[in-house]
Structure 1
Amino acid sequence: MVVDLVVIGTAITFGPLHNSACMLLLTSARGVHKGLAFLLSWLANLVVVIACVLLLTGGTPPERHSTPSTAADAAKLAIGVGLVLFGGYRLRRPPRPHGPPRWAARIDRASLGTAAALAWLLQPWGLVAAGAATVVNADLSSVSDWLALTGYCVLATLSLLAMELYTVWAPAAARTRLSALRTWLEQHQEQLVVTLSLLAGLWLTAGGILALV
């Protein structure tokens, strides 16, 4: 479970779309407050998903090859195959002009509520679902599993947290560097999406197959 959560959390935190959105928020008017609203909403989303899974399992992992365990493994396999297919589709798709998304121009006028809602909208739900399927195996009587779940949430939020703290500590430098990094992300978004989708998808597919055998 731990290794799967590390892989999924890393793929989530390096996702280009939500990172670009956070950079736009942080470099806009009241950027620190908007970035914090985005970050807390993002983290709350992960915690809510994990809490829902643990409520369903009662904090006790199902027995191997039981119906719940098989369903979770099958879900991970399906998500993995879906990510591989999605990555392959994006790889073959003709390149599109680089540039900020249409909603980027509205960021300066965005409220804190809008920033928080944007975090839920931009969640990579396929990866979040894979994380949920992995959390099915969490044992709440184990301290190590508690640490694994906490580490997963922190890892999946790490890029947002780093940008928020950087903006708080060095606002002028952060504005310049985050703007430059956002431009780079926009230029390499397709490559990042393809790479993350294929790597995470292959990992989940392989793990799902091994678990079901």
Structure 2
Amino acid sequence: MVLDLVLIGLAIAVFPLSVTAFVLVLSTEGGIWKGLVFILSWLACFVAVLALVLLSTGGEPPAPDSPPSTASSAVKLAVGVGLVGYGWRRHVRRGRAGGPPASSGGLTARLDRISLWTAAGLAPLLQPWGLVAAGAATVVEADLSETSAYLALFGYCVLATSSLLAMEVYATFVPRSAHARLGRLRDWLQRHQDQAIVTLALVVGLLLVSRSIHQLVS
């Protein structure tokens, strides 16, 4: 379980769409407060998903080869296949379209006018829900009678939010340097976003497929 959560948490942390959107939120007027609200909403969503899963299992992992255990592996397999398919289709469309990515100037202008409530609402919308579903299917294996399970779940939440937390802290305490460097990060992500999404989807998808198949046949 821990290895799968690390893999999924890292993938969520570096997901290009949510990272780009968060950089844009930080760049707006009052961006520090909007970013903080964004992160709190993001974490609240994670905790809610984990709570629902753990309530459904009672905090006890299903027995091997039981229907819940098989369903958990099947969900991860489906997510992995979906990620591979999505990454491949995006790669094909990118090759056919060619040319530079579309400008995000309109998005930046719209984000500059968002309220704190809108920033809170954006966080759940921008989470990569396929990866969140894979994480939820993995959390089914958590045994809350062991302290290590709590540590793993806490670490998963922190890891999945680590990129946002790092940018928020950086922008809060070193605002001038953060503005310049986060601006360069935003520009790089906008130029390479499709390539990053394709790579992330294919790599994580293939790893989920291989691990879930191993769990299903073992």
Identify whether the pair has TM-score above 0.5, normalized to the shorter chain.
yes
1:45-90 per-position Cα deviation (integer Å, ceiling 9, x unaligned): 1111111000000000000110111111101001101101111111
Aligned partner letter, 2:69? S
1:134 to 115, 119, 138: 138
Aligned partner letter, 1:95? G
1:115 to 110, 116, 119: 119
Q: How many corresponding residue pairs?
A: 213
Where does 1:21-60 land on structure 2 (aligned, <5 Å)?
21-60=21-60
2:109 counterpart of 1:95: no
Aligned partner letter, 1:105? A
Q: CA deviation at 1:176?
A: 1.2
1:201 to 198, 201, 205: 205
2:171 to 163, 167, 170: 167
Aligned partner letter, 2:188? W
1:98-140 per-position Cα deviation (integer Å, ceiling 9, x unaligned): 2217433111110001001111110100000000000000001
Alpha-carbon RMSD across the aligned residues, in angstroms, is 1.1
1:13-43 per-position Cα deviation (integer Å, ceiling 9, x unaligned): 0011111111111111001000001111111
| 2:155 corresponding residue in structure 1 | 151
| 1:181 corresponding residue in structure 2 | 185
| 2:108 corresponding residue in structure 1 | 104
Q: CA deviation at 1:97?
A: 3.4
Aligned partner letter, 1:81? V
Instruction: Work out the CA distance in 1 between the residues paired with 2:9 and 2:143.
Output: 19
Aligned partner letter, 1:19? V
Q: Point out where structure 2 has 5 or more consecutive residues left out of the alignment.
A: none
| 2:62 corresponding residue in structure 1 | 62
Instruction: Work out the CA distance in 1 between the residues paired with 2:70 and 2:99.
Output: 40
Instruction: Work out the CA distance in 2 between the residues paired with 1:102 and 1:29.
Output: 16
TM-score by length of 1: 0.97
Aligned partner letter, 1:79? V
Instruction: Work out the CA distance in 2 between the residues paired with 1:20 and 1:127.
Output: 17
Q: CA deviation at 1:95?
A: 3.4
Q: Point out where structure 1 has 5 or more consecutive residues left out of the alignment.
A: none
Identity of matched residues, % = 58
- Secondary structure, in 3 states, of the residue corresponding to 1:109? coil
TM-score by length of 2: 0.95
The alpha-carbon distance between structure 1 residues 42 and 89, as it changes in their structure 2 partners (threshold 3 A), is same
| 1:10 corresponding residue in structure 2 | 10
Aligned partner letter, 1:90? R
